[in-house]
Structure 1
Amino acid sequence: MKKAKSVDEYLSALNPENRAELERIRALVKQLVPGTEETMSYGMPTLKYKNRALVYFTASRKHMSFYPSSWAIEELKDRLTDYKTTEHSIQFTLDNILPSGLIEDLVRVHVREIDAERE
């Protein structure tokens, strides 16, 4: 896949099922945090809040990934036991998507930390 220049270009290159799932996440985060800015960063669709990366989201052949922040993953790790996680990402599949409530809570944690100017 060639390097996308925009979130729309990135999403348009995905299969319809993955695209629909990442569009759901995109819309949910934008509704929860109005005024987010869309950009591409590190080759990934990125939503920025207060000029800082709020979330990244990607799709690969075997899974999708959501990057809310290491703080959010650590704080909500008890709710992430059904997913493969790294320090910065949560991997999920179409068979085991991230529930909207969980995404919202992960985003709220990161918004709180950005508002507190945590580095």
Structure 2
Amino acid sequence: MAITLSSASLTHTQVQVENIRVKHIEECKYLLRRLKGGTYSVSWDGIFPSFKSHRRNSMNKKLEINVEIGIEYGKSIYPRKPYVTKQIKINGKDYTSIRFWQTEQLGELAGKLNHLLNTEP
């Protein structure tokens, strides 16, 4: 089986697109971790990410981001040492589910989070 120039360039293009996608995912995760505790409602302009609970109510076009901060105590290594935990949910799902989103959705989320973080007091 011979490899043609067009198939090699297509593979290179796919690698570039995947690299851009991974960068968007890492940027979104970083920005989500920087949010302070609370509930954020973000208006959505583009293609709304599909969630089972929001399929019927897609006219709302708002993304709800819940950030819960708690204190837990170590159990095995340092039994009494407290550490801070942060639980981030987007429309009721864990924030790691953004890895299944489209690249355009990730770019829009990164832009919205940048704006949100820059306008916080």
TM-score range (shorter-chain normalised) is 0.3 to 0.5
Higher helix proportion, which one?
A: 2
**Structure showing greater relative contact order (alpha-carbon pairs closer than 8 Å, 6 or more residues apart):** 2
Normalised TM-score (structure 2) = 0.33
When normalised by structure 1's length, the TM-score is 0.34
Structure (1 or 2) with the larger CA radius of gyration: 2
